[in-house]
Chains A and B, each alone.
Chain A
Amino acid sequence: MAQLLEAGTRAPDFTLHVTPDQKLSLTELLGRPVILAFYPADWSPVCGDQMALYNEVLPEFQKHRAELLGISVDGAWCHAAFAQTRHLHFPLLADFEPKGEVAKKYGAFRAGDGYCERALFVIDGKGKIAWSYCSPVSVNPGADGILQALEDLSKS
């Protein structure tokens, strides 16, 4: 498993395609919490895969004014098709070129496999990592850790 950036670290900025013709930077979202969810690939074959699950939990994330971003090495066209099929209501970022560059900065890239870990980051409104967690790649980490981290942020 890669060594994730830990709580207390400044979250590396990035600018990635969020649609085939639009880009999004982390700095644009400062001022409120950001959830970064790195995941291995679009189109995992189970019901309620990680992104579908987070899609259902969005209202809970939004109670904390948090912005959720999914990130994988899939390209923007692939993400668009995936998001449309699963009715996802949050952005998917394409860490596609150079492949996995952002994942590498966060310590969330699996070099031998060529895709991202299932790695979660909650970044506070000032751009500092408040919480991070890496799940075994075959285990969907769920949303409990994210919600706990958001609650802890609200209290602090």
Chain B
Amino acid sequence: MSTLKVPVAARDHVQGDSNAPVILVEYGDYECPHCRHACPIVKQVQKHFGKQLGFVFRNFPLKEIHPNAESAAETAEFAAGQNRFWEMHDAIYENQDALGPPLLLELAERMELSGQALASALKEGEYAKRVKEDFIGGIRSGVNGTPTFFINGKRHDGPFELADLVGAIQAHL
């Protein structure tokens, strides 16, 4: 049984309480259609459990098959630098069909973040180290594709439709 090797910490992007009874960690790729499919499902799961659930998203870009996944991940980290991580995370998934450098700049500007600063951060790889750390932590934890979920540190194997996740989380309450 694979388990989360990197505990949830201050560096993580957390929605809800990081001390909630159940913590759901997703390793995701912004260009992965399965992660996109999971995105609204996770929102429903959060709604279902309310304060009993904290949700963490970590980067796991599969660069060889998804050429825009890395820059998308770095863009979300750039937004995080201005406390806008979740807004960017959602916006990228919602616009996944158009994912590419122009979309990322457009999303930044739509959120009134500097497109120029983003372009420069991407060019310099300012957030590449952070994304890589997430990736390596994921590998060490047994992430085996995207999305991979961990519920209270245990890898969730199998389907991740609403009923599957709700059932698996309920088992921890």
A contact set with B: CB distance below 8 Å: 46-50, 52-53, 55-57, 60, 86-89, 139-145, 147
18 CB contacts below 8 A, A to B, read A46-B34, A47-B34, A47-B62, A47-B65, A48-B62, A49-B145, A52-B62, A52-B145, A55-B64, A56-B63, A57-B139, A87-B65, A139-B157, A140-B145, A142-B143, A143-B142, A144-B5, A147-B140
Q: Which residues of B contact A86 (CB under 8 A)?
A: 64-65
A64 to nearest B CB, angstroms?
A: 13
Asked if B23 lies at the interface with its beta carbon under 8 angstroms from chain A, I say: no
Interface contacts beyond A52-B145, A55-B64, A86-B64: sample of 15 additional A-B pairs, CB < 8 Å, sorted by A: A47-B32, A48-B29, A48-B65, A48-B145, A48-B146, A53-B145, A56-B63, A57-B139, A60-B136, A89-B64, A139-B144, A140-B145, A142-B144, A143-B142, A147-B139
If A60-B136, A144-B139 touch, whether A50 touches B65 (CB-CB below 8 Å) is no
Asked if B142 and A144 sit within 8 Å, CB to CB, the answer is: yes
Asked if B18 lies at the interface with its beta carbon under 8 angstroms from chain A, I say: no
Q: Which residues of A contact B32 (CB under 8 A)?
A: 47-48
Interface residues of B in 25-39 (CB under 8 A from A): 29, 32-34
**Bound form: Cα–Cα A67–B27 in Å:** 27
B contact set with A: CB distance below 8 Å: 2, 5, 29, 32-34, 60, 62-66, 135-136, 139-146, 157
If A48-B65, A87-B65, A147-B139 touch, whether A141 touches B144 (CB-CB below 8 Å) is yes
Q: Which residues of B contact A55 (CB under 8 A)?
A: 64
User: Contacting B145 at CB < 8 Å: which of A46, A57, A88, A144?
Assistant: A46
Q: Which residues of A contact B140 (CB under 8 A)?
A: 144, 147
Q: Which 6 A-B pairs have the closest CB atoms?
A: A48-B145, A140-B144, A142-B144, A142-B142, A144-B142, A87-B64
**Bound form: Cα–Cα A89–B64 in Å:** 10
If A47-B29, A139-B157, A144-B2 touch, whether A53 touches B62 (CB-CB below 8 Å) is yes
Closest chain A residue, CB of each to CB of B67: A87
**Bound form: Cα–Cα A86–B62 in Å:** 11
**Bound form: Cα–Cα A70–B81 in Å:** 40
**Bound form: Cα–Cα A28–B145 in Å:** 31
Closest chain A residue, CB of each to CB of B143: A142
